[in-house]
Amino acid sequence: RDSVASRGLGDVYKRQQYSITFNETNLTGMLKQQDFEFLGSALIDNKSIAIKHSHLSLGANKIDLDVVINDNLLSGDFMANISDLSLIDKDFKGIIDSEFKLKGTLDNPEFTGFANGSDLKFKGISLKNIDITGQGQLHSDFTLSVTGNSLKLNQQNFESIALNLTGQLSKHNFQLKVDGEDYVSEIKAIGQWDIDKRSWAGIVEDHYFKRSDIISHWALENTINITVGQDVKLSNSCWSNNDSKGSLCMNFQSQNNYKNYQGHLDLDELELASFKAFMPADLLIDGVLKGQANIDITEDNVNIDSDIKLIDGKLRYAENTDEEYISKITSAHVVAQYKNEKSLLTTEIQLDDGTSV
C-alpha cells in the first residue's frame, strides 16, 4: 500500500483507501487584524469523519465543534458566539449566539437547538431581536419556530414577525404572521420537499392583510399553488377587499432553468391606501388603481405591456415636517411598453392645481 506520511498531518492513502489525521493541532496568528486561533483533532477516512474538541476563535468570535459520522450514524455538537459580525462583512453589526445538537442517522437526522440574534444591522436592514428554536427529525416529525421584533426594512417598520413550521420535509405546515405599525398580515400554507427532484411545492390555503388605521381587510380568494425547483411557478392568485369591491390577481412562472420569466397582473379598483406601509414615509398616494400588466423576460429581451389608470387620486409629499404639498389627482393614466429594446411610456396626469405631467 503506497502512502505519504507527515507527522501532524496524517497519512494520505492512494487508491480507494485514505486517511487524514490532525492530532491536537494548534494554529495561532493574525487574521483581518484580529487574533486567530484554531485548536482541534480530526480523523477523516473513507468510512468515517471525527472532528473532536475543535475550537476556532477570531477576535471576540468563538466557534466550538464536535462531529462524528460513522457509516450512516451521526452525532455532533455545535456552539457559536459571534459578537463582532463586521469580521464577516463590514456592514454587518450585532450579536449571534447559537447551539445545536445532532444525532441519529444521515438518512433521518435528529436535531435540537437554538439561535439568538440581537441588535442586528446590515445596510438598510435592522432587527432588534430574533429567536430560532427547533427540534425533531427531518423525515419524521419536527418543529421550527422563528420570532423577531422591531424589524426595519427600507424605512418600513415591522413590530414583530413569527414563523412556525411543523411536520416533515415530505409534508409540513407553516404559518407566517407579520405585525406592522398599523397592519397585520398572516399566511397559512402546506409544503412538500421532494428529495429526488430537489424541489419544493406548496399550497397557500389562507392569507389575509388588515390595516388598523383604515377600514381595509384583504383576503385570499383561492388557494395558491407554488412550485420551486429547476423553475418556479405561482398559480393564478386573487385577493379581494372585504370592505370594498377591489381585487388584485397575479400569476408568475420561470422557464428553462430560470432563463425566461412570465407574469401577469390584474388590478380592479385596488385601493392604494392599503399599501401605505410599503410606501416611503414622506410620500402618500391615495386613490383606486384599475388596469393590467404583462411581463415576458428572456435571455435576449424584456417585454412589458401595461395599461393602468388611477381614479380619485390624491398626492401628499412632505420632505420635512415644515413643508408639505397636497393635491388631488383629477386623472392619471399610464401606458408602458418595452419590446425589442424599444420603450414607449405614455402618461397623462392632471392635478387639481392646474399642473399636469
pLDDT at 339 over 80: no
Chain centroid to Cα 192, Å, comes to: 18
* Backbone angles phi and psi of 85, in degrees to 5: -70, -15
Whether 329 shows a pLDDT value over 80: the answer reads: no
CA–CA gap between residue 65 and residue 75 (Å, rounded) = 11
Residues in Cβ contact with 323 at an 8 Å cutoff, skipping those fewer than 6 apart:
none
Checking if the pLDDT of 15 tops 60, the result is: no
d(CA 239, CA 135): 35
Q: Which residues contact 184 (CB under 8 A, 6 or more apart)?
A: 177, 178, 208, 209, 210, 212
Q: What is the per-residue pLDDT for 165?
A: 94
| pLDDT band (50, 70, 90) for residue 1 | very low
Residue 3 has pLDDT above 50, yes or no: no
Q: What mean pLDDT do residues 274-279 have?
A: 61
pLDDT tens by residue, 210-255: 876 655 677 888 888 999 988 999 999 898 877 667 888 999 999 9
Determine the pLDDT at residue 220. 85
**Binning pLDDT at 50, 70 and 90, where does residue 12 land?**
very low
d(CA 349, CA 326): 15
Asked whether the predicted pLDDT for residue 305 surpasses 70, the reply is yes
2 pLDDT band, cuts 50/70/90, is: very low
Does residue 284 have a pLDDT over 90? no
The string of pLDDT tens digits covering residues 100-114 is 999 999 888 999 999
Counting DSSP H helices and E strands in the chain, the numbers are 0, 24
Please state, in angstroms and rounded to a whole number, the distance separating the CA atoms of residues 159 and 115: 20
* 140, pLDDT greater than 70: yes
Model confidence at 322, pLDDT cuts 50, 70, 90, reads: low
Q: What is residue 10's predicted lDDT score, i.e. its pLDDT?
A: 36
Q: What are the C-alpha distances in Å from 171 to residues 109, 137, 190, 249?
A: 16, 13, 7, 27
Q: Which residue type, as a one-letter code, is found at position 62?
A: K
Rounded average pLDDT over 326-336 = 63
In the chain, pLDDT over 90 holds for what percent of residues? 36
Decide: 314 and 292 in contact? Cβ < 8 Å.
no
Mean pLDDT of the chain: 82
Q: Any bridge partners for residue 143, and if so which?
A: 135, 166
Q: What is the pLDDT of residues 56-104, one digit of tens each?
A: 999 999 999 999 998 889 999 999 999 999 988 889 999 999 999 999 9
- The b-or-e profile of 253-264 (16+ CB within 10 A means b, else e) is ebeeeeebbbbb
Residue 142: per-residue pLDDT: 94
Cβ of 181: how many Cβ atoms within 10 Å?
A: 12
Specify the pLDDT at position 324: 59
